[in-house]
Amino acid sequence: MSKKPLIDLVHISKAFDGETVLDDLSLSIRENEFLTLLGPSGCGKTTTLRILGGFVTPDQGRVIFDGADITMLPPNKRNLNTVFQKYALFPHMNIAENIAFGLKISGKSDAYIRDKIAYALKLVNLEGYEKRNPTALSGGQQQRIAIARAIVNEPKVLLLDEPLGALDLKLRQEMQYELIRLKNELGITFIYVTHDQEEALTMSDTVVVMNQGYIQQMGTPEDIYNEPENAFVADFIGDSNIIDGIMLRDELVEILGVRFPCVDTGFPKNLPVDVVIRPEDVILDDPGKGLLDGVVSHLIFKGVHYEMEVQAGGYEWLVQSTVAHPVGASVSIRVIPFNIQIMNKPVSEDEKAVALDE
């Protein structure tokens, strides 16, 4: 993956009817990157994508593409293509005509267009569908056509707006692999918008977690999952135990009146913090053997693991384990220092976790 920045969003702000959707957002996207904008609905991710596509003009800030300012450039003059959430295939054209649309406008020869259609349909595994009508296809097939229609134009960047949102689970998973394969074969930049954290973690090189018009955290899927920077990210990505704590000194945090060794350093002494512990990192031991004793209050079998709720120290801990402890059993909680994440308390209202739409 090249390190060269391809797109720069510089101090972008946008408000609709006085309501701020994006507030001073800056973002750099590298060439050949699979970048995902992830967040709850209304977080500004789709607006960001529409600004990139040229459908929305930002109130402030600039969009730099390949070194040129394209902020005011209309969508038809931009070298990027969009795959729309509801496919947006042209209902009055057949599949071939749909795919040929952009090529005809750019004045390509008939032979070139024919080859390109065949190539694109092969790429999305729908060979021989040229003469069909879009309305006769299933949702997944329409989605593939929408992708084929976009990529035949050889855009430098493909924008995807929740493209799998309308598909069922099985198809969605298949399409995730398909998209990764496509991206690798085409060698272009994908910018992907979703509210589905699993999709984001599975496919992306870089995940940008957004909320209320701000970027909350940007990093590799591993970073985002393992080292959430604030409670919003921790809560949005996967399940988490987020507990109030006090940083007693370097590598020691007090949670629920009990001292837990951790690996974080550099916080001021006695600072109130948010402590994030993933449910799979909570280890249940025999009573007295861990740091905090408690009682199992719920037990659910989830397939790959059991999910339990443990009442301990006045907090309801979410625990995932391959070993089941029956409801009512006394247990003791233990966490490996490395698995405890210490985070600063949010300073502004905006950074606080909002109700999620999950």
Residue 37 to residue 210: CA distance in whole angstroms: 7
Please say which residue, 84 or 306, places its beta carbon nearer to another protein: 84
The interface with another protein within residues 189-218 (CB under 8 A) comprises none
231 contact partners, CB below 8 Å, separation of at least 6:
242, 274, 276, 343, 346, 352, 353
Among 5, 42, 61, 75, binds another protein (CB under 8 A): 75
Is residue 85 involved in binding another protein (CB under 8 A)? yes
Residue 57 to residue 59: CA distance in whole angstroms: 7
| In the complex, least distance from residue 45 CB atom to another protein, rounded to whole angstroms | 17
CB 38 within 8 A of CB 45: yes
Among 41, 57, 74, 110, binds another protein (CB under 8 A): 74
Residue 34 to residue 40: CA distance in whole angstroms: 20
The DSSP code for 332 is E
Among 36, 81, 204, 206, binds another protein (CB under 8 A): 81
Beta sheet of 80-83, edge-to-edge order? 80-83, 157-161, 189-194, 34-38, 206-211, 214-219
Q: Which stretch binds another protein (CB under 8 A): 99-107, 137-145, 219-227, 262-270?
A: 99-107
| 217-233: b (≥16 Cβ within 10 Å) or e | bbbebeebbbebbbbbb
Q: From the centroid of its chain, how far is CA 180?
A: 14
Residue 124 to residue 144: CA distance in whole angstroms: 6
277 contact partners, CB below 8 Å, separation of at least 6:
240, 241, 243, 335, 339, 340, 341
Among 5, 66, 101, 219, binds another protein (CB under 8 A): 101
Residue 150 to residue 309: CA distance in whole angstroms: 47
Please say which residue, 161 or 274, places its beta carbon nearer to another protein: 161
Residue 1 to residue 34: CA distance in whole angstroms: 10
CB 69 within 8 A of CB 62: yes
The interface with another protein within residues 119-178 (CB under 8 A) comprises 146, 149-150, 153
Is residue 110 involved in binding another protein (CB under 8 A)? no
Q: Which stretch binds another protein (CB under 8 A): 87-95, 120-128, 168-176, 181-189?
A: 87-95
Among 3, 19, 68, 106, binds another protein (CB under 8 A): 106
| In the complex, least distance from residue 193 CB atom to another protein, rounded to whole angstroms | 14
- With CB under 8 A as the rule, give the number of residues binding another protein: 26
Please say which residue, 106 or 348, places its beta carbon nearer to another protein: 106
Provide the residue type at 181 as one letter. Answer: R
The interface with another protein within residues 248-277 (CB under 8 A) comprises none
The interface with another protein within residues 41-70 (CB under 8 A) comprises 53-55
Is residue 29 involved in binding another protein (CB under 8 A)? no
| In the complex, least distance from residue 73 CB atom to another protein, rounded to whole angstroms | 12
| In the complex, least distance from residue 82 CB atom to another protein, rounded to whole angstroms | 5
| In the complex, least distance from residue 83 CB atom to another protein, rounded to whole angstroms | 9
Kindly list the residues in this chain that would bind another protein in the complex (CB under 8 A): 53-55, 74-78, 81-82, 84-86, 88-92, 101-102, 105-106, 146, 149-150, 153
